Amino acid sequence: MLDFSSLLLAAALSGTCLSVTMFVIWFTAPRARFVLTVACGILVLVAHVIVFWRYTREPSPLLCQAALALLSLGFLALSLSAMQYLGMRNYSRAVLPAMLAMAVCAGVTYLGFDGVGFILTYTTVTVLLASIGVMFWIKGGQDRGILLVVSALSGVCGVSFGLCGAVLLVKGQWVLGVAPDNWAERLNSVVAVACMTALGALTLSLHHLQAQIELKAETLTDPLTGLMNRRALNSLYGERVFGPFMSIAMFDLDHFKRTNDVYGHPVGDRVLCRFAAIIKKYDRVGVDAFRLGGEEFALVMSRMPQDKAHDLASKIGVAFGTEVVPTPRGPLRSSVSGGIGFGKEDGSSLEDVLAEADKALYAAKHAGRNRVLVLNQVSKADGPALRSA
């Protein structure tokens, strides 16, 4: 059976391997900052284990303070990595209380109450682990299954540290002079090694899942404008049935080829981005904007009557007509034409509604551009030019 020192060395070895693995992953994917924070946190915990192992052999106040400080810092780093992964930026809510607890712990340990220092540190670590568990429990998304497992492991590990502090508290061991050695400490060593190993593996899974999500987002996003692309349109609405309160407005920037030829492609890109910025302002629940390619855009509108859909598309056209893009050849004002296709009572496919919107767009171009049109039942275009011209 392993003795206490062997358990500590096993924890140090396991933590070192995990840390090295995390650093390698981060070097291959620098944007995964939470992986770097995990690696640093585990490395600090490895340093704690080594210092604590040394303290068990040669007790001294300095080694005691260093071991306790490293333990709190390591789990603080893991807590911050959880906040990074979940997109939480209020780091001070974790850092300030932890640093305050570390300062109090250093003070009481310096005064000779090392048992109190251990109790305070174990309490701090328990709170940090509990906060990790709560954050992952509440913030679950596409990776909720993995996050719930992380939450459970954090809770188990936190309980093991809480037991260590509880044993010292119940026994009233305010002054130790040596490293605590009891059943809770031994249990904690085993649980900590197991949980840290499992958490390391889950961190790999979270990184892999996050990479997949980012890759999918990139394939569904137009890199110039930041809008969703045609692939995203097919992915979101390819299997949808379009009823009478669903519609698609197709937009085409007027004389865009001339803009590129006269002003240059960089100016053309700026014009595209200006229109994208305007259409994004109307992007809300039930309204999704897409760049289909070139100077073509689409707006899918759900749960919206036909007159409201036409008004919304017209507002976008009017707003774009007021935009002025400065160029070396002078200010540039552009316009846009649009056509709207509507779903039917008995349901329409994405292709059907796009085809109707495309016909209406062609009619708007043929009618003089700078307008948003709808084809009526006899296939005639109706609608005046936009007032922004």
Active-site residues, by number, are 295
Is the CB of residue 6 less than 8 Å from the CB of residue 189? no
Is the CB of residue 57 less than 8 Å from the CB of residue 51? no
Distance CA 219, CA 213 (A): 10
Query: What is the phi/psi pair of residue 379, to 5°?
Result: 65, 35
Distance CA 74, CA 203 (A): 16
Distance CA 153, CA 16 (A): 20
- The 3-state DSSP class for residue 255 equals coil
Is the CB of residue 346 less than 8 Å from the CB of residue 361? no
DSSP-assigned letter for residue 331? -
The counts of H helices and E strands in the chain are 12, 9
Distance CA 79, CA 77 (A): 5
Distance CA 115, CA 120 (A): 9
- Indicate the pairing of strand 332-333 with strand 336-342: unpaired
Is the CB of residue 54 less than 8 Å from the CB of residue 66? no
Is the CB of residue 74 less than 8 Å from the CB of residue 44? yes
Residue 341: strand pairing partners: 248
Structure-block tokens of residue 320? 């774009």
Is the CB of residue 132 less than 8 Å from the CB of residue 78? yes
CB atoms within 10 A of CB 307: 9
Distance CA 135, CA 133 (A): 6
Structure-block tokens of residue 264? 């240059």
Structure-block tokens of residue 288? 């999704």
